[in-house]
Structure 1
Amino acid sequence: MQKTPPVASEPESLMPQAQQRAKLRRTRKLKDRFSHWGVATAGIAVVGALGLIFFYLFSEVMPLLKGAKVTPVTQYSSTQVTEMTSPTVYQTLERYEQIGANYSESGQVQFFQVASGEPLLNVQLPAPADAEFSAMGYGTPTDALIAYGYSNGQVVVAQHVYNLSYPNDQRKITPELKYPLGAAPITLDQQGQSLTAVAIQKTARGYALVAATADNRLLLGSYTTQSNIMTGETSIRSQVYPLPALPNGATPRFAQVDAGASHVIVADNQAQLHVYDISNPQQISLTETIPTERGQTTALQFLVATGSVVMGTDSGSVSQWLLVRDSQNIYHLQHVREFESLPAAVTTIAPEYSRRGFLVGDSSGHLGIYYGTSSRTLLVKKVAKKGIAQLAISPINGRLIITDSGNHIQVVDVWNQHPEISFSSLWQKVWYEGRSQPEYIWQASSGGDTFEAKMSLIPLSVGTLKAAFFAMLFAMPLGVMGALYTAYFMTPKLRGVVKPSIEIMEALPTVILGFLAGLWLAPFLESHLPAIFSLLVFIPLIMLVVGFLWFLLPSSVRSFAPEGWEAAILVLPIILTGWLCVSLSPHIEVWFFDGSLRQWFTNHGITYDQRNALVVGIAMGFAVIPTIFSIAEDAVFNVPRHLTQGSLALGATRWQTVIGVVLPTASPGIFSAVMMGFGRAVGETMIVLMATGNSPLVNFNIFEGMRTLSANIAVELPETAVGSSHFRVLFLAALVLLTLTFIVNTCAEIIRQRLRKRYSNL
């Protein structure tokens, strides 16, 4: 029986090596685990950082989405403020929200502490003898003008002023009542009829008073003041003009006059609005009569700057109407916005001091807070048990005084910081005051206090896409085609020079490119426009001609240029062609365009700006080309050689191999290169900032400029007030830009993965 030989044991000399290999395996396993968790942690950190950016931007934007809210502070009866029992006909609140004023029917003006209702100053207006109060009118809140109309046709005009002083470094507010047209009553109606409606406005030429009389006449009073600097005396010149009567025997109920003393708007008892042109007092005309179709008008008030009027009716409807000029320079009243109705008849409208916002009260005690430009209904809430008689908002919109029909006063704090922003104002056409139609406009600031901010993101978004489109139109063909030729056709020695040279272009600061584009390229293109179009035609043409002539040369001559060096042959012809096009540019303008191609564009209705999309396309394309070229060239160069060699071995030409094998295989990398270039173009700031003119236009005209999201943020963010609506809209623009690039990159990655999966079997 044969015995199995014993298994030889491992020599003792190999034991340390086995232990060492085991140790190495444990170390490698530890390193692999560490790398796995390190890479995973880094990836999660990147995603987390991106999420934090989104969260921070959204936290700055979120207050724009909030409506208004009111918080009760205190309440008291009007008898605590004044001993007079006559109803309050007007109320006001100063900017520090400490002192208010009540105007009563009896002509008594009582200034009081808002927090406690404690009286401070009691002033009696110089009312005419043997006359009763009949009408009350007031201008825009910033002018603080009040007009009392009386039953004898006279008017008293007053103005409340709050004087500031700082004794012992403590702010002291001293209320005062002034009479800009004198303390004596003004006779507006020589016939002595009772005034049923009164309106006043301070204009550039003085003061304008409009009144309706008991016999349905309308009167316009024009008053100018002149002060003698030597004696200090003030003289007043006045003139009263009749207005045409309302049609169909209508009775005027409310009247408003604009700050330019150009138009008077009258609401009658037949649910109609009438527009008078008073720009020439000698030729006053009734230009328009419009049915409101919303019920009887119960309140009518101009908003700040008097470009639009707000109307409330007995049905609770609230609407805004704009004065719009037509092609014949005639103004018409245009209904532009309808707001959420109140439950009962509107009783009072209080416009804000510096914004197109306004507050409305109704006969059931409901308060409505609205904003005109954004067409927002910010709040509708019941705040009083009885009907609201008067509303007084502070100039900084932080506190509100509400007086009901029972003469009870309620003080509330108001949070209403960003009413001018809404989805419609950001992304839809908006009809702004002074415009003939709804438009997309970005104009966030101005020098005037009554400026209406126009913050549509459409011009900025279109400008961003426009700049990226023309940059990619210039960079994508050059970058991709250049990468394809360099990686596949060019000799390795020449490639070793060309590729680093192009990649080093990416290190050029974009501010330098923008500087050159704005100060050199833009004027050069403007003065050599024919050369630019000639280059687009003759450069490809000369390349084809040179290639064809090279093909016709004998092989003995072509052998002097080794394969892969053909591109060097084109350098001199391209340079000569460019020089020839630039040299002939002035002559082409003279021969074909009457000496100026730019003027020829203008004559044919094509706008040409010196800093335009053409300049941006060239300059930003120059900055984007290295990104596209580098990534695409690596993708083409890394196509496996056995694929191309197999294609050539089967009889395909080099171009057939490129189209059928190289491009499909490298398509994921080329697509990534294009998307990276597009992302770079979308986020570019300095080039578009310096080379576009920063005009927020909504078009794709290559000869006009644009304003992009990134350039707008760079320009306006350092100048805006922190926490303002403008500030938060700029953060919203940043969020839109980040979201846009995130969506584009995500879609690009999905497409790239599908391309890789599709061509992975090659």
Structure 2
Amino acid sequence: MSQSEVRATASAYRKWRQVKDGLATATITTGGIGVLFAILLIFFYLLYEIMPLFESASLKETNQYAATSETSSLYLAMEEQAEVGFRLDRSGRADFFQVSDGKLLLSEELPLNNAAISSFSLDSEVSRIFALGLNDGRVLIAKHDYRTSYPGDKRLITPILRYPYEKETLLLSEEGAIDQIAISDSDDELLLVAISNGKLIGRRWVKEEDFLSEEVTLIEEPVDLPVLDIAADRVLIGPGQQWLYVLSNDGGYRLIDLRRVNVADRGYLFDSGKLSEARFLLGGISLLTASDHGEVGQWFVVRDASRESGYRLQPVRQFAVPNGGSAALVTEHRRKGFLNVTKDGRLDVFYTTSHRRLLKRDLDVGTVASMAISPRADTVLLENQQGMLHSYELHNEHPELSWSALWSKVWYESYPEPDYVWQSSASTNDFEAKYSFAPLAFGTLKAAFYAMVIAAPLAICGAIYTAYFMAPALRRKVKPLIELMEALPTVILGFLAGLWLAPFIEKNMPAVFSLFLIMPVGILLFAWCWAQLPISVRRYVPEGWHPVLLVPVVLGIVVACVTLGAPMERAFFGGDMRAWLTNDLGVSFDQRNALVVGIAMGFAVIPTIFSIAEDAIFSVPKHLSYGSLALGATPWQSLIGVVMPTASPGIFSALMIGMGRAVGETMIVLMATGNTPIMDANIFEGMRTLAANIAVEIGETEVASSHYRILFLAAFVLFMFTFFVNTIAETVRQRLRMRYGNL
């Protein structure tokens, strides 16, 4: 080949190499940009899903029209679809009308038998049963109801006024007019409590259903009630017909236990002002009271061992509203929110659990007389004293969340004190959703901590020995074998941890804990014995192959500990170490606990940390360690003073990547823990992590619901935590590299 041909071939080769270098650079750059773009997409998509959680409510007026009668209203309500409204006036006329335009659909006069209405009480917004106290001491019970049909595939809502106990009135008081009344209607009995002529009167009717005809018969029973020592202006019956709340206009209250017939608690709702409104939140556990000094308070009954009755009425939250009191206070039918409107038309929308004001709006409607909210909380109906009805469209999709509800202690209904709780669902519609991230974040860090406690020492020490001391031939076998462990699916590890490891640890607790003590002692003892052998014997094992000798030692120690576990348990723990932990030390024990997770997740994290750390140590230039040895340092001194500082950026990266793997692990913690969102550092208790919580609940939640978006918020928190940890890790790694890069 001539010289010119050689030059041409070399030029062509250089051009082709440049093309390949360009393609490789473009491919790598494109891949890197694509990864960054994908991460940004994930970030912004998570933001897109969670931003509606923090939006305020909005209100838009849709129509106004005159009421169906000139008499002022006593009660205002709407049906499920907010298409048909119900209005009961003080004369006893019940009207059903279209919410959109006020068109009258049905009008009916209640059978009052020439009596006048003196008081009104609603059982609940869900049951729609109400009681009218009359001036002749009798009570009429009715219910506004709705029947939905689809003639011609078009929805038709037909309103009906029902009388659950026929149209006959029930005699409640022989003292005269019923000034105040409360009703509680359950499947088993009907309870009425009233105030008549300053006296507290109660009647109970037990329901007996005929097996054949299914006809219900009421059997009247008297109700013993204590003598009042305050002026009773309002009475309310709590859930389960256990509690009776008697309130006076000056703010005094008496909490009466209907089962024991005694006053369980007494006091004042506020320091000054007059009571303007009182009603129950959804479920009847929480009582809302409003004063004319601009205070709305939430109260519920909690246990109190220091009191003779064992209970007290606890103030939980305060909400500030304008002075002048409430013209109307209505609660949502399916959530723990409420609306308050003052007489001059100032509307406030609150949510109790999140302790959040969602809307503040001045309405130009004049003096407000009554208000209603639809069951779906998307329509508000106001009536002023001039008899004009105003309908509004309310947008309030996600009121349950606030930063304090996510990260601070919250006092939930029926809890003895504020606490961190995650409980997103329950079997009852009256449930108060609890969305605290604190136990989930705690569980995430707890699982990662115990996994790193087990994985980090084993992985780092194994990487040091493998890279620096082990014979090359043995290293070529050990390193791939450990890295192969990383390919094992975590679902398999979780399955084994939950179904085999957890019961094994529970059954062999003395053996497991003795392993942590005896294993290092046994290895050190074997090493000392090996060092005492003659050199002629030790020469048979080549340098760097000594770990092979430890295999039978480790197996022997494991077998010995498991064999001696039962005798140790009988000798030191009375035959049951779990009972000893619980009864003698007061340490609770759950079979699927943090110890199981630490071992199983540590097994999953070890290959990651080991592989990166071993590569970092092995990649330290040999001339550094040779130079240290040549200057008289021992191999151990060379390792500590030269090799480890040089490899420290890689070792630190290995630890951070391993921690990131532990924080984001899902299947192991999902299958190997009790999956209970509790804040307990006890190694024998379980936990729930953010990742496991998302995996458990995302398939059960309704798309675009508050629960759905909160799970996306949990994913965002996990994303930001990982990003924050990785950023710190990269910063520390770069500083370590700058410090030790010149060795």
Fold conserved (TM > 0.5)?
yes
Q: How does 1:728-743 map to 2 (within 5 A)?
A: 728-743=709-724
* Equivalent residue, structure 2, for 1:758: 739
Matched AA of 1:66: E
Residue number in structure 2 paired with 1:8: none
1:615 lines up with 2:615 in the alignment: no
The answer to which of 416-425 and 592-601 deviates more is 416-425
The one of 279, 284, 289 aligned to 2:267: 289
**Alpha-carbon displacement from aligned partner over 1:337-359 (angstroms, at most 9, x marks no partner):** 11231353212111111211111
Structure 2, unmatched stretches of 5+, are: none
Matches of 1:442 and 1:127, distance apart in 2: 50
Cα distance per residue 1:302-353 (max 9 Å; x no partner) = 1111110111111232221121122367221111111231353212111111
What stretches of structure 1 move > 6 A for 4+ residues in a row?
Answer: none
Aligned residue for 1:243, secondary structure, equals coil
- Establish whether residue 432 from structure 1 lines up as the match of residue 412 from structure 2: yes
> How far apart are 1:719 and its partner, in Å?
1.0
Residues 343, 364 of structure 1: 8 Å contact kept: no
Q: What is residue 461 of structure 2 aligned with on the other side?
A: 481
**Partner residue, 1:118:** 103
Q: Tell me how far apart the structure 2 counterparts of residues 77 and 242 of structure 1 sit (CA, whole Å).
A: 46
Letter in 1 for 2:208: Q
Q: What one-letter code is carried by the residue in structure 1 that aligns with 2:180?
A: A
Could you tell me which of 199, 209, 213 is aligned with 2:192? 209
1:159 is matched with which residue? 143
User: 2:495 and 2:204 mapped to 1: Cα distance?
Assistant: 55
State the 1:113 CA deviation. Answer: 1.1
* Displacement of 1:584: 0.5
Match of 1:315 in 2: 293
Alignment of 1:439-518 (within 5 A): 439-518=419-498
1:216 Cα deviation (Å)? Answer: 2.3
Answer whether contact 1:367 1:380 (CA < 8 A) is retained.
yes
Alpha-carbon distance, 1:155 to partner: 1.7
Conserved? CA contact 1:276–1:285, under 8 Å: yes
Q: Which residue of 1 aligns with 2:607?
A: 626
SS of the residue 2:204 aligns to: strand
Give the counterpart of 1:219 among 201, 216, 221: 201
Residue 133 of structure 1 pairs with residue 117 of structure 2: yes
2:80–2:375 CA contact under 8 A, matched in 1: yes
Give the Cα separation in 1 of the matches to 2:641 and 2:478: 26
1:605 deviation in Å? Answer: 1.1
2:85 counterpart letter in structure 1 = G
Any residues of structure 2 matched to 1:12-411 within 5 Å, and which? 32=21, 35-78=24-67, 82=68, 84-129=69-114, 131-192=115-176, 194-213=177-196, 215-230=197-212, 233-241=215-223, 243-247=225-229, 250-280=230-260, 283-285=261-263, 287-293=265-271, 295-327=273-305, 330-411=310-391
The 10-residue stretch of structure 1 (403-412 or 558-567) with the greater mean CA deviation from structure 2: 403-412
**Letter paired with 1:143:** S
Quote the residue 1:520 is aligned against: 500
Percent identity between the two aligned chains: 45
CA distance in structure 2 between the partners assigned to 1:741 and 1:752 by the alignment:
16
Rounded to whole Å, the distance in 1 between the matches of 2:684 and 2:674 is: 12
Looking at structure 1, the residues matched to 699 and 193 of structure 2 have their Cα atoms a distance apart, in angstroms, of 46
Structure 1 residues 437-489: Cα deviation after superposition (integer angstroms, max 9, x where no partner):
11111111112111111111111111111111111111100000000000000
Q: TM-score, normalised by structure 1?
A: 0.94
| Alignment check: 8 A CA contact 1:204 1:260 kept | no
Residue deviations 1:462-520, cap 9 Å, x none?
A: 11111111111111000000000000000011111111110101111111111111110
Given that 2:254 and 2:263 are in contact with CA atoms closer than 8 Å, whether structure 1 keeps it comes out as no
Query: Does the aligned pair in 2 maintain the 1:219–1:240 contact within 8 Å?
Result: no
Deviations 1:39-65 (A, max 9, x none): 333323222211110100111111110
Distance in 2, Cα, partners of 1:317 & 1:27: 81
Aligned equivalent of 1:698:
679
Match of 2:661 in 1: 680
Question: 1:175 Cα shift?
Answer: 1.4
What per-residue deviation string (whole Å, max 9, x for no partner) do you get for residues 630-664 of structure 1? 10000010111011011111111111111111110
Distance (Å, rounded) in 2 between the aligned partners of 1:637 and 1:708: 35
1:625 and 1:320, CA in 2 relative to 1: closer, same or farther beyond 3 A? Answer: same
Q: Quick check: 2:252–2:266 contact (8 Å CA) kept in 1?
A: no
After superposition, what is the alpha-carbon deviation per residue over 1:580-627, rounded to whole angstroms, capped at 9, x for unaligned?
000010111100000000010110211110000000111111011110
Q: Is the 8 A contact 2:617 2:647 kept in 1?
A: yes
Stretch deviating more after TM superposition (29-38 or 136-145): 29-38
**Deviation at residue 21 of structure 1 after TM alignment:** 5.6
Instruction: Tell me the residue number matched to 2:633.
Output: 652
Work out the CA distance in 2 between the residues paired with 1:205 and 1:567: 75
State the alpha-carbon separation in 2 of the partners of residues 142 and 274 from structure 1. 26
Amino acid aligned to 2:119: A
CA distance in 2 between partners of 1:599 and 1:235 (Å)? 54
Offset at residue 423 of structure 1 (A):
1.1
* 1:212-266 alpha-carbon deviations (Å, 9 max, x no partner): 23x322222222333435456542223343633443xx42222211121111112
- State the distance in 1 between where 2:179 and 2:446 align: 58
Give the Å deviation of 1:541. Answer: 0.3
C-alpha separation between the residues in 2 aligned to 1:512 and 1:225? 56
Q: Distance in 1 between matches of 2:18 and 2:213?
A: 100
- Kindly indicate whether the alpha-carbon contact (under 8 Å) linking 2:368 and 2:382 is maintained by their aligned counterparts in 1: yes
Equivalent pairs counted in the alignment come to 740
Partner of 1:722: 703
- Output the amino acid matched with 1:712: N
In 1: Cα distance, 2:167 partner to 2:371 partner:
27
Counterparts of 1:470 and 1:612, CA distance in 2:
11
**Superposition deviation, residue 132 in structure 1:** 2.5
Question: Are the counterparts in 1 of residues 144 and 162 from structure 2 also a CA contact under 8 Å?
Answer: yes
Between stretches 452-461 and 592-601, larger displacement belongs to 452-461
Task: Give distance in 2, aligned partners of 1:286 and 1:539.
Answer: 61
Please state whether the residue corresponding to 2:241 is helix, strand or coil: coil
Q: 2:545 is matched by which residue type in structure 1?
A: W
Match of residue 555, structure 1, among 511, 535, 540: 535
Do the aligned residues in 1 keep the contact of 2:601 with 2:662 (CA within 8 Å)? Answer: yes
Residues 89-144 of structure 1: per-residue CA shift (max 9 Å, x gap): 10110001111110100011001111121111111111142x32222211220010
SS at match of 2:71: coil
The offset of 1:361, in angstroms, is 1.5
- 2:649 matches 1:668: yes
1:7 aligned residue: none
For the residue of structure 1 that corresponds to 2:283, the secondary structure is: helix
Report the Cα distance in structure 2 between the residues aligned to 1:404 and 1:182, rounded to whole angstroms: 33
Q: Does 1:564 align with 2:564?
A: no
Distance (Å, rounded) in 2 between the aligned partners of 1:314 and 1:410: 24
Q: Give the Cα separation in 1 of the matches to 2:274 and 2:623.
A: 87
Aligned 8 A contact 1:145 1:201 in 2: no
Please say if residues 264 and 312 of structure 2, whose CA atoms lie closer than 8 Å, have aligned partners that are also in contact.
Answer: no
- The farther-off stretch of 258-267 and 96-105 is 258-267
Asked if 1:591 is matched to 2:575, the reply is no
2-structure distance, mates of 1:657, 1:174 = 90
- Cα RMSD for the two superposed structures: 1.9
Offset at 1:728? 0.6
Q: 1:596 & 1:143 partners in 2: Cα distance? A: 53
